[in-house]
Amino acid sequence: MRFALIGQPNCGKSTLFNQVAGYKAETGNFAGTTVSFTETKVRVLGEVIELVDLPGTYSLLGTNPAERVVLDYLIEKKVNAVINVIDATHLVQGLLLTLELMEMGRPMVLAINMMDEASRQGLKIDGEKLSELLGIPVLPMIASRGQGVRETFIQAWHAAKEKKVPQPKSYEEKIESAVTDIKNKMKQGEFPISRRAFAVKLLEGDPEITKQVESKNPGMLKIIQGHLDTLCHHSSRQAVWMVATERQKIARELSQKVSKQGETQLSIRDRLDDYLLHPIFGYIFLFLVLGGFFALVYGIGNWLEAPLLNFFDNLTNLILNRLNAEGLLPELIAGMIQGVAGGLAIVLPYLAPFLLGLGFLEDIGYLTRIAFLTDALMHRIGLHGKAIVPFILGYGCSVPAIMSTRIMENKRDRFLSSALVTMIPCAARLSVIFGLVSFYLGPWAALGIYFFNIFVIAIIGRIITHFIPEDSPGLILEMPVYRLPTLRTVTAKAWFRIREFILEAWPLLIIGSIILAGLNYYSITPYLDKIFQPITWALDLPSEVGTPLIFGIFRKELSLIMLAQALGTTNFGAVLTSEQMISYTVFVVFYIPCIATIVTIKNELGTKNMWLITWLTLLVAITTALFSRLIFFFFV
């Protein structure tokens, strides 16, 4: 059997999912889109059930990829029962989706989540009465504490066994007669969802379903258009609005019948935004939060990185001594260990605390506030507030940052934010900035590179916006109330993102390291240097740095580690001038993203955009490195 969890964004659906999901949970991609959903297996009354967590959606209109996924899933996959989760504090809005789901002709139960939040606001909801009015089981739930979860699944199981299909609510006469007419003219079983749902979707003008009808039964289109015209003529409004208004009317009536508003107990939580979104204090607080966040992440990362690297160094030596052989094999083994170490010692110590912290900020509700505060700023570089999330992530690792651009609605915004995010110095490039610039030229020079980087990204954003102007409507977000997240939801969320790194980027890192070791063994480095010669010449760098730069494409921190090998010394101060160090670092910060990032861009945005972004970064790197030489020429 399969149950589907459906609810509006922020209704606590994922909290519920994480409560029941074991560690076997899997993420999957729906064909053709990148909006993912998660599946897990749960045991209900001794039976193993597949539970799918569909993306949060306000309605089934299919206006954005997430909604499309939910609708398509309901149409194409066999779902034995729908568990509809709604937020008790937004009953009317939640019921809108419930009413729509009831039309789909699948057994369903309604879970009213966040009952604790509702009673805090003095709201009383009579679940039994709502159950009577809707004709489906209604269960109160506090998902964060696991209350009502078991009962919900048991009821869903019963509904699925008895195949109890809900009776949908009727709309006003004119809509109903149109629906009935369309329904009757369709053949039984012609389409996989209930005929009523299909008829309503057609009246709402769903493009996909209209297309399906066009191919299967072209005569229908004329009939539908006729109904649409009549409805429009009667009310001077489009049918889609009439249906929406009708649903709202029904939802409001239901809500009035079952809920009672008592005394509201306002707490500090409700006044918090007065300070946190204040035009002055809000930004000070934002600065402190982000500063503290990064300090914490780098603190933990640094603390873990050195001993872990040490451990892997010892391990390599131990294994090489044991093998006691010369030749290709030990080199390859050493390369493999380096690849494993790169992921475990250099990326994960920063990525894990980073994602945990980010998950916390997200669940507590602060991330949306950051988007609100930075929206005006982001518009200056042709994006809007939502893009701040990939930007923050980018300082940890470009891979999750590019994946997170999925939250942007349109392709242009995704492309632009991905392109800009790849130029943000990630934790690996940080090691170059710290190891070279900060160590030899002082922390202020390193800070200078950071600001220079932000400045360049802003300019590139403006330039790209000049060619592909902003056409998205801007920020549309629901402001969540502050909620104290549970440890479990935060760790589960972080784990899913870490897994994406482990499964998608880490293997490439290891393979890259092995290939590098092979190349190194056959001493092909002089040829590699040749490839970058035009660039090293233009930047007035020793031609030996070509190899570390190529290695840096596999793993960014190699452009520092390999530098020692290429130049034959770890005392870079003796062989490089400060000008050379700066132009080298600037080049490294911007040029070609690492293999893992390139592959991620390809998966998310396609091959064409992958090449586009790769060449763009190379161009930007050369230009900015030359610019840094120019600054030295004039001012130093």
Q: Which residues bind other proteins (CB under 8 A)?
A: 58-59, 61, 63-64, 89-90, 92-93, 96, 240-241, 244-245, 248, 273, 277, 279, 368, 371-373, 375-377, 379, 384-385, 473-479
In the bound state with other proteins, the residue whose beta carbon lies nearer, of 61 and 209, is 61
Residues 6+ apart with CB under 8 A from 565: 547, 548
Smallest distance, Å, CB 12 to other proteins? 15
Q: Which is nearer to other proteins, 113 or 583 (CB)?
A: 113
Element (H, E) at 440: helix 439-441
What's the CA gap between 359 and 372, in Å, rounded? 18
Tokens 């009465």 found at: 129
Which residue number, 288 or 376, has a Cβ lying nearer to other proteins?
Answer: 376
Of the two residues 47 and 478, which places its CB atom closer to other proteins in the complex? 478
Instruction: Decide whether 56 or 330 has the Cβ nearer to other proteins.
Output: 56
Dihedral angle sign, alpha carbons of residues 198, 55, 117, 138: positive
Q: Which residues contact 284 (CB under 8 A, 6 or more apart)?
A: none
Angle between helices 195-203 and 173-185 (to 10 degrees): 120
Strand partners, 112: 86, 140
CA–CA separation, 563 and 569 (whole Å): 8
Residues 491 and 356 sit within 8 Å (Cβ to Cβ): yes
The minimum distance between CB 476 and other proteins, in angstroms, equals: 6
- What is the four-CA torsion angle of 275, 279, 280, 285, rounded to 10 degrees? 50
Which residue number, 182 or 243, has a Cβ lying nearer to other proteins? Answer: 243
Contact 261, 122 (CB under 8 A): yes
**Which C-beta is closer to other proteins: that of 58 or that of 198?**
58
10 Å CB burial of residue 92 (0-12, 13-18, 19+) is middle
CB of 241 to other proteins, least distance (A): 7
Minimal distance in Å, beta carbon 385 to other proteins?
A: 7
The distance of closest approach from Cβ of residue 477 to other proteins in the complex, given in angstroms and rounded to an integer, is 4
**Residue closer to other proteins, measured from CB, 242 or 581:** 242
CB of 8 to other proteins, least distance (A): 9
Full 3-state SS string of 54-66: CCCCCCCCCCCHH
Residue 294 Cβ, how far from other proteins at the closest point, in Å?
23
In the complex, the smallest distance separating the C-beta of residue 519 from other proteins, rounded to whole angstroms, is 50
Q: Would you put residue 477 in left (φ > 0), alpha (ψ -120 to 50) or beta?
A: beta
Given the DSSP bridges, would you call strands 138-140 and 108-113 parallel, antiparallel or unpaired? parallel
Q: How far is CA 317 from CA 312, 321, 350, 561, in A?
A: 9, 6, 26, 17
DSSP designation for 79: -
Q: How far is the CB of 523 from other proteins (least distance, A)?
A: 57
DSSP state letter for 57: -
Are 54 and 69 within 8 A, CB to CB?
yes
Q: Minimum distance between the CB of residue 191 and other proteins, rounded to whole angstroms? A: 22
Q: How far is the CB of 379 from other proteins (least distance, A)?
A: 8
Q: Residue 597: enclosing H or E segment and its boundaries?
A: helix 595-605
Q: Residues 460, 604, 374, 355: is their CA dihedral positive or negative?
A: negative
5: three-class secondary structure by DSSP: strand
CB nearer to other proteins: pick between 92 and 515: 92
Pick between residue 290 and residue 300 the one whose CB is nearest to other proteins.
290
Of 104 and 337, CB closest to other proteins: 104
Q: Are the C-beta atoms of 178 and 221 separated by less than 8 Å? A: no
Nearer to other proteins, 270 or 313 (CB): 270
DSSP for 319-338?
A: HHHHHT--SHHHHHHHHHHH
Bridge pairing between strands 259-261 and 123-125: antiparallel
Give the nearest distance from C-beta 194 to other proteins in angstroms: 22
